[in-house]
């Protein structure tokens, strides 16, 4: 029997059609939710800068026009989802929310305009709870294969911690999503977030960042809005790492794991070199008293990159980044990811590379960070995984 790789995608997405969230809301929030989504279900006319993808592309991508409802059908149908992952050779997945503002109720962020609907914080928190309940149901169909990421609203930190604990008890073990920006809240170096870091460290839940988690930049209906957005979005997603690093969060919470997902990986060595240089400068003497390790040492101790659709040139940098820090991701079911051509894309990236190193990046690292049971997944990988010889 041919040897096969065990593949875990550290970056997948899931979301329900809007009406399907209603039973997951507390009763008092169901009527406001119906009013809210009722105004969103029809496609709006395309205006420059309004949409990330234009109408023609959406129709080519998805003839059933389900993109507006959370992605292709596998985004919410567990049977369809597993069939598509099996066909793509993916044994397990880390599941982030999907689409605009991650397609979470009452989170009305439009990525290219950066504008938030003025929803009360109570409703935003209720929408996150409803999404988490729905996601826990989705993951319950294949719990060994799914690590769902918890969505919370950080306006009320105590309530956020309570929801993190509740969602963890319901089986969501993919960690917590930390939006790339904090909107009208204090930045992430503020002491108010201390209970969040403590809870995640205690529970063994990673803190994840991902592009499109939030946004304050208004790109407007102006020429170049979409490419400007795409040029900047990954930079915004890097910022939480900088804030937590220099604020001493990693120093105070040495068992906290921090993951930067779908943000490329090639920037990491140069950034760490620059940060280490800053750290050693005389003007940072006071900072060094509270941070005994260099930035690169904190990276090596507790940080990881969810390297979605990893490129061959990035894998060539694996030892500078840290071979044990890189987790491959397919970005299923998004159009820019590797699905449904993952086997071919893996061959393009890893062809001719050492088998053990490939196995570590396509599955082993994610299993360690997100607590997947490799022994339980092994029979599945032996059936659906890409053949080792195909990447030799």
Quick one: pLDDT at residue 153?
Answer: 94
- pTM of the shown model: 0.90
Phi, psi of 322, rounded to the nearest 5 degrees: 115, 110
Q: How far is CA 196 from the centre of its chain?
A: 18
Residue 154's CB: how many other CB atoms inside 10 A?
24
Looking at beta carbons, which pairs linking 53-62 to residues 24 or more positions away fall under 8 Å?
53/335, 57/335, 61/335
377 to 142, 212, 374: CA distances (angstroms): 11, 31, 5
Quick one: pLDDT at residue 46?
Answer: 42
Quick one: pLDDT at residue 249?
Answer: 99
Q: Is 347 exposed, middle or buried (0-12, 13-18, 19+ CB in 10 A)?
A: middle
129 to 38, 81, 105, 211, 357: CA distances (angstroms): 20, 23, 9, 21, 38
**181 Rama sector, left if φ>0, alpha if ψ -120 to 50, beta otherwise:** beta
Quick one: pLDDT at residue 108?
Answer: 62
Quick one: pLDDT at residue 235?
Answer: 87
Nearest to 93 by CA among 386, 330, 376, 305: 330
Quick one: pLDDT at residue 220?
Answer: 66
In this structure, the dihedral spanned by the alpha carbons of residues 190, 192, 193 and 196, taken in order and rounded to 10 degrees, is 160
Q: Residue ranges per domain, the chain?
A: 8-391
Name the CATH superfamily for 8-391: Metal-dependent hydrolases (3.20.20.140)
373 to 61, 82, 144, 145, 181: CA distances (angstroms): 34, 18, 7, 9, 33
Q: pLDDT tens track of the chain, all 392 residues?
A: 679 999 999 999 999 988 999 999 999 999 999 998 887 654 444 443 444 445 555 455 544 444 444 446 888 999 999 999 999 999 999 999 975 445 789 886 543 334 456 689 999 999 999 999 999 999 999 999 999 999 999 999 999 999 999 999 999 999 999 998 888 899 999 999 999 999 999 999 999 999 864 444 566 667 887 788 778 888 889 999 999 999 999 999 999 999 999 999 999 999 999 999 999 999 999 899 999 999 999 999 999 999 999 999 999 999 999 999 999 999 999 888 899 999 999 999 999 999 999 999 999 999 999 999 999 999 999 999 999 998 87
Looking at beta carbons, which pairs linking 309-315 to residues 24 or more positions away fall under 8 Å?
309/336, 309/337, 309/338, 309/345, 310/265, 310/349, 310/361, 311/266, 311/349, 312/348, 312/349, 312/350, 313/266, 314/264, 314/265, 314/266, 315/349, 315/350, 315/353, 315/361
225 to 47, 51, 103, 218: CA distances (angstroms): 11, 9, 21, 9
Q: Is 389 exposed, middle or buried (0-12, 13-18, 19+ CB in 10 A)?
A: exposed
DSSP lists the bridge partners of residue 308 as: 329
Q: How far is CA 193 from the centre of its chain?
A: 20
In this structure, the dihedral spanned by the alpha carbons of residues 348, 354, 357 and 363, taken in order and rounded to 10 degrees, is 60
- Pairwise CA distance, residues 352 & 341, whole Å: 19
């Amino acid at each position: 029997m041919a040897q096969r790789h065990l593949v875990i995608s550290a970056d997948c997405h899931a979301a329900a059609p809007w009406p399907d969230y209603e039973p997951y809301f507390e009763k008092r929030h169901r009527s406001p939710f119906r009013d809210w989504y009722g105004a969103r279900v029809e496609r709006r006319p395309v205006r420059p800068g309004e949409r990330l993808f234009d109408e023609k592309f959406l129709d080519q991508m998805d003839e059933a026009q389900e993109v507006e409802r959370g992605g292709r059908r596998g985004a919410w149908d567990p049977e369809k989802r597993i069939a598509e992952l099996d066909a793509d050779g993916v044994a397990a997945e880390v599941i982030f929310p999907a689409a605009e503002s991650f397609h979470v109720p009452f989170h009305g962020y439009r990525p290219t305009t950066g504008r938030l609907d003025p929803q009360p914080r109570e409703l935003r928190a209720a929408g996150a709870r409803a999404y988490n309940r729905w996601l826990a149901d989705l993951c319950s169909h294949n719990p060994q294969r799914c690590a769902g990421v918890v969505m919370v609203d950080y306006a009320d930190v105590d309530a956020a911690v309570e929801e993190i604990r509740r969602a963890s008890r319901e089986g969501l073990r993919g960690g917590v999503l930390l939006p790339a920006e904090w909107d009208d809240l204090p930045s992430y170096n503020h002491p108010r977030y201390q209970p969040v870091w403590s809870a995640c460290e205690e529970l063994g839940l990673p803190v994840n960042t991902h592009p499109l988690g939030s946004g304050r930049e208004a790109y407007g209906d102006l020429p170049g809005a979409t490419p400007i957005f795409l040029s900047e979005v990954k930079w915004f997603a890097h910022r939480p790492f900088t804030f937590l690093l220099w604020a001493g969060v990693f120093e105070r919470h040495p068992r906290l794991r921090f993951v930067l997902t779908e943000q490329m990986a090639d920037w990491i060595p140069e950034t760490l070199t620059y940060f280490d240089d800053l750290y050693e400068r005389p003007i940072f003497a006071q900072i060094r008293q509270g941070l005994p390790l260099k930035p690169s040492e904190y990276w090596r101790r507790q940080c990881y990159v969810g390297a979605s659709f990893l490129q061959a040139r990035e894998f060539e940098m694996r030892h500078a980044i840290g071979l044990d820090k890189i987790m491959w991701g397919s970005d299923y079911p998004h159009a820019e990811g590797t699905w449904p051509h993952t086997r071919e894309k893996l061959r393009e990236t890893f062809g001719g590379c050492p088998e053990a190193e490939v196995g570590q990046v396509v599955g082993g690292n994610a299993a360690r960070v997100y607590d997947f049971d490799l022994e339980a997944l092994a029979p599945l990988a032996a059936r659906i995984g890409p053949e080792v010889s195909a990447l030799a």
